[in-house]
Amino acid sequence: MSPSIQVIVEIGCSLFAAIALIYIFLPGRDADTGVTKTRLSYLYERKEVVYDNLRDLNFEFKSGKFTQADYEGMRSNMESEAARLLAEIEQLEAAKA
Amino acid sequence: MPLLGSFCLLFALALAGYSFIAGIFGVARKDSAGFRLAETARRAGIVTFIAVTGAALALVWAALNNDFSLAYILEHTNRALPTPYKLAALWSGQEGSLLFWSWLLAGYGLVLRLRHKIDPRLFATTSTVLAGIQVFFLVLVTFVANPFGIMGSLPPDGNGLNPLLQYPEMVIHPPMLYLGYVGFSLPFSFALAALIMRYPGEKWIHITRRWTMVTWLFLTCGIALGAHWAYSVLGWGGYWGWDPVENASLLPWLSGTAFLHSVMMQEKRGMMKVWNVWLVFITFMLTILGTMLTRGGAVQSVHAFAQSAIGTWFYWFLGIIFVVCLTAYIKNRDHLKSENKLESLVSRESSFLFNNLVLLAACFAVLCGTLFPILSEAVRGYRITVGAPFFNKVMVPIGLFLIFLTGIGPLLAWRNTSLGSIKRNFMVPAALAFGLGVLLIFVGLKPWTDLPYFYAWLGFLLSGLVVTTIASEFIRGGLVLKTKLNTNLAAAMVHLTRRNMRRYGGYIVHVGVVLVIIGLCGAAFNQEKEQEMALGDKLQIGHYTLVGQEYTQDDNANYSSEAAILDVYKDGKPLVRLTPEKREFKASNQGTTMVANHSTLAEDLYVIYEGKNPDTGHPIIKAFVNPLVIWIWIGVLVVAFGTGIALVPNAAAVKAPVASAIAVVAMDNAMQPAGAGK
């Protein structure tokens, strides 16, 4: 490598390092700290999943995959699970209020 | 360029180190100062990508400009090497491929760090884990396997690229495989981060699901391209030889596939949390093991590099990962308590569980067979190699059982399936599959004559079962929507797929797997014949007659070659002219075979020119008739298409109102297709 190219490379590397350090250590003041996930937000997520499971079940029943007895048993189980979730959500929301 | 490359590597290492350490302190502190520190760690991770990119570009630049002052470029390129293969030099040697690993990891890290607003805390912890992995690979390429080592003198030309790698697919295969290997760092980092921070719920699984699917797709394509390369270049008539490096890529694929299935149980039912976390951990460790086997020279393979000290680093890294994972698990295992239990052995859950057990059994068998030479050397002082017969004996029954589970899984209900529902769902697919089995016997397949024939017959039969169960899923769902939307069945099935891309995309993936299995079953009926062929001589194999028409020689800057020009007749009628070739590369003094392959949906006529008999001077031709091989490649394309479908978000997602009463949700959404709310 010729000396002049070597100097250009050295200057380029130094410049890159300087810009990088400025970028890293002078971040904007709007750094997003996020929120700590709570039991309540988890229960909301879980509730959506149970509702989706119910939709799945209903659709599969309509498509003829299950007998009436199977469907009713599974639906009853899922509705109980959803009811438990809703009860806990209600309880936590009441406590928060 | 060596100066620039070395600077970039050192700077990247410093940045990754900072990102790791600042990340640890940042996420450990829960105050605003901690978040500011984590933010600097995130930004350092972003700049790491730019620095590693600089190093990779410096190496590529050196390759393109024949800078033989670099030992790596001297070893892996030469002046006459075509430009695409010079680009491939980045991953053709140990040092370059580790730099490539680092670059891909930094690239994945960049995407992760740019998407941090999805969940800043989870992403900050994940980014820190990723930075730790990055540090390891940058230490390797900076201090142990540096691709910017300089030669004492400047040689006029390089040693050239390994001839086996001078094939178009070899430009794509390693990057694909590496995208798969490296990509599993992300699910691993998310899983470890979620465990360490006791992240509530399954959101991390939703976030990582797509990463895992993309990674799995890359790994699948990488493995398939490798198999196709082996078929097209190695010239032994097969596509999978249970080579240790092939096996190394299969291991994380098997455990990753298990994870993609079992993760549904966690999402749907909050079950198998410990299992899933360890599946991700194991998959990542297997990718590191795979990289070690390929790059560390621990095993002897057509792909592997020579023995080097780098293997010791990987052993230590694997040990550290295991200790970190185990510690995190022991400390937080109460967080992984399952929310539901397995209610019945005849349920969707149990089918997933069996699927996982079978996949892990396959993984364990391949791992044992692959590591056996190393273990035997450690215990007895000499290597005992486990060959294809062992793997075939173990893996074929496992694979068939897996296909059986693929067939029955979708027809089972979550929680429990009664005998009535089983009858309702299985009668038609089972009858059709049985009918297919009888038909195959009727057309001449005699499964009782030989074990491979029996396996092939069973493979076809089970493939029929899977296809019919999948078809029944589409048709049943389509019929419901057909009535509701007042449209035709095809449009209804498209609508059905668009409402739940993941589920129906998954079914398409299963169809692709079935096609691959059909292609593999064809191997039971392979034929081969080798013969000296003077001009005008004939070689008869199956329905084909090969006639030697001409033998030629050629020479260019990169290689000299000999080729046979053969006219092929099928059942006496002219079919095609094939030109198998043998090349001798000048820079490396190594030879390679260029296979001539006439491929149809029914079979491949695969012909190799093996050189001349030194005694008679006559060319030796070897021909294979390999039935159904093309279905393997078609199947992989279908798998890729299905995965692509599964990655697309659902159309017209409908969310249930938060305040809806359970009964109302159950009734009002009765006509919604499965998963419409996702």
Length of chain B as a residue count: 678
Mean of pLDDT values over B142-163: 83
Mean pLDDT of the region B640-665: 66
Judge if B473 and B555 occupy the same domain: no
The shortest C-alpha distance from B161 to chain A (Å) reads 25
Q: Is residue B495 one of the residues assigned to a domain?
A: yes
Tokens 């909050």 belong to: B270
**Predicted local confidence at residue B201, as pLDDT:** 76
pLDDT at B320: 96
Domain residue spans of chain A: 35-96
Helices (H), B443-589: 451-485, 489-499, 501-521
pLDDT confidence tier of residue B210, bands split at 50, 70 and 90? confident
* Residues B436, B579: Cα–Cα separation, whole Å: 39
User: Closest-CA residue in chain A for B118?
Assistant: A34
Structure tokens that stand for B179 in this block: 């995208």
Domain assignment present for B171 = no
Tell me: do B512 and B535 sit in the same domain. no
Whether the Cβ atoms of residue B179 and residue B100 lie closer than 8 Å to each other: no
Same domain? For B47 and B133 the reply is: yes
Distance of alpha carbon B414 from alpha carbon B348, whole angstroms: 5
Report the SS3 class of residue B327. helix
Same domain, B21 and B124: yes
In this complex, do B267 and A36 lie within 8 Å of one another by their Cβ atoms?
no
As beta bridge partners, residue B623 has B529, B607
Q: Residue B270 pLDDT > 90, yes or no?
A: no
pLDDT per residue as tens digits for the range B32-47: 888 889 999 999 999 9
Could you tell me which residue, B603 or B268, shows the higher pLDDT?
Answer: B603
Strand ranges inside B512-627, DSSP E: 527-532, 538-541, 544-555, 559-570, 573-578, 581-585, 590-594, 596-599, 603-612, 619-627
Do residues B306 and B293 lie in contact, with contact meaning Cβ atoms separated by under 8 Å?
no
E strand spans, B304-375: none
> What is the per-residue pLDDT across B91-119, written as a single tens digit (0 to 9) for each?
888 889 899 999 999 999 999 999 988 88
Q: Domain count of chain B?
A: 4
Residue B627 in this model has a pLDDT that exceeds 90? yes
Which chain A residues are Cβ-neighbours of B411 within 8 angstroms?
A: 65
Pair B626, B604: CB distance under 8 Å: yes
pLDDT, tens only, B309-357? 788 899 899 999 999 999 999 999 888 888 777 777 888 888 889 999 9
- Predicted confidence at residue A29, as pLDDT, reads 56
pLDDT at B668 over 50: no
Determine the 3-state secondary structure of B607 from DSSP.
strand
End-to-end CA, chain B? 50
Q: Does residue B597 sit in the same domain as residue B577?
A: yes
Q: Are residues B413 and B489 in the same domain?
A: yes
| Cβ-defined contact of A54 to B32 (cutoff 8 Å) | no
Highest-confidence range of B13-22, B388-397, B656-665, by mean pLDDT? B13-22
Residues B14 and B143 in one domain: yes
pLDDT number for residue B257: 95
Q: Same structural domain for residues B136 and B97? A: yes
pLDDT on residue B303 = 57
Around Cβ B63, how many Cβ atoms within 10 Å?
27
- Which of B32, B201, B666 lies closest to A45 in CB terms? B201
B665 pLDDT higher than 50: no
Q: Which domain holds residue B129?
A: 1-150
Of B4, B43, B669, the CB nearest to A24: B43
- Three-state SS at B644: helix
Question: How many C-beta atoms lie closer than 10 Å to residue B432's C-beta?
Answer: 18
Between CA B275 and CA B265 the distance in angstroms is 10
The answer to whether residue B575 scores a pLDDT higher than 90 is yes
Query: Letter for the amino acid at B469?
Result: T
| Segment A32-56, tens digit of pLDDT | 566 677 888 888 888 888 898 898 8
Q: From the list A34, A64, A70, which residue is nearest B476 (CB)?
A: A64
Is there a domain that residue B260 lies in? no
Label residue B471 exposed, middle or buried (CB < 10 Å: 0-12, 13-18, 19+).
middle
**Whole-angstrom Cα distance, residue A78 to residue B255?**
30
Whether B666 has a pLDDT exceeding 60, the answer reads: no
Confidence band for A30, pLDDT divided at 50, 70 and 90: low
Q: What is the pLDDT of residue B556?
A: 85
**Could you tell me if B598 and B451 lie in one domain?**
no
Same-domain pairing of B538 and B667: no
- The H-or-E segment that residue B533 falls in is none
Task: Report yes or no on B95 lying in a domain.
Answer: yes
pLDDT at A27: 67
Instruction: Count CB-CB contacts under 10 A for residue A90.
Output: 11
Phi, psi angle pair for A72, to nearest 5°:
-65, -40
Which one has a higher pLDDT value, B295 or B345? B345
Instruction: Using the predicted structure, report yes or no on whether residue B658 has a pLDDT greater than 50.
Output: no
ipTM, interface predicted TM-score of the complex: 0.84
The answer to whether the Cβ–Cβ distance between B201 and A42 falls below 8 Å is yes
- Are the Cβ atoms of A37 and B200 closer than 8 angstroms? yes
Between CA B662 and CA B674 the distance in angstroms is 17
Alpha-carbon distance of B306 to B295, in angstroms, equals: 8
Angstrom distance (rounded) from CA B589 to CA B605: 30
Q: In this predicted structure, which of A31-40, B128-137, B627-636 has the lowest mean pLDDT? A: A31-40
The answer, yes or no, to whether residue B129 has pLDDT greater than 70, is yes
- pLDDT classification of B517: cutoffs 50, 70, 90: very high
Same domain, yes or no, for B535 and B613?
Answer: yes
Look at residues B602, B621, B616 and name the one whose alpha carbon lies nearest to residue B547: B621
Tokens 């008539």 -> residue: B237
Would the CB atoms of B424 and A65 count as touching at under 8 Å? yes
Among chain A residues, CA nearest to B122: A34
Closest Cα in chain B, distance from residue A5 (Å): 10
Average pLDDT over residues B434-463: 93
Amino acid B251: pLDDT: 95
Q: Using the beta-carbon criterion (under 8 Å), do B672 and A59 form an inter-chain contact? A: yes
**What pLDDT does residue B678 have?**
36
Of A9, A44, A54, the CB nearest to B4: A9
User: Is the distance from CB of B624 to CB of B542 less than 8 angstroms?
Assistant: no
Average pLDDT, chain A: 85
With a cut of 50, say whether residue B677 has pLDDT above it. Answer: no
B491 against B676, higher pLDDT:
B491
Q: Are residues B409 and B530 in the same domain?
A: no
Q: What are the C-alpha distances in Å from B3 to residues A2, A13, B58, B474?
A: 12, 10, 9, 60
Chain B residue with the nearest C-alpha to that of A40: B200
Nearest residue of A to residue B46 by CA position? A24
**Yes or no, beta carbons of A65 and B411 under 8 Å apart:** yes
Q: How would residue B166 be classed by pLDDT, with cut points 50, 70 and 90?
A: confident
Q: Summarize the confidence of residues B122-144 as an average pLDDT.
A: 95
Check: CB of residue B334 under 8 Å from CB of residue B323: no
> Mean of the pLDDT values across residues B520-549?
93
Q: What is the residue-averaged pLDDT of chain B?
A: 87
Interface probe with B: pick from A4, A58, A68, most Cβ of B within 10 Å: A58
In this prediction, residues B609-634 reach a mean pLDDT of 92
